[in-house]
Amino acid sequence: MQTNFKILTYASRYVDVNRLNEGIYETAIPFLYHSETTIDELVKRAENLRYILGDDRINGKYFEMLKQCILLDFKLVVSCPKIR
Q: What is this structure's pTM?
A: 0.83
Domain ranges across the chain: 2-77
Q: What is the DSSP string of the chain?
A: -EEEEEEEEETTEEB-GGGTTT---B-SSPPEEETT--HHHHHHHHHHHHHHHTSSSS-HHHHHHHHH-EEEEEEEE---PPP-
- The per-residue pLDDT string of the chain (84 residues; one tens digit each, 9 = 90 and over) reads 569 999 999 999 999 999 999 999 999 999 999 999 999 999 999 999 999 988 778 889 999 999 999 999 999 888 877 776
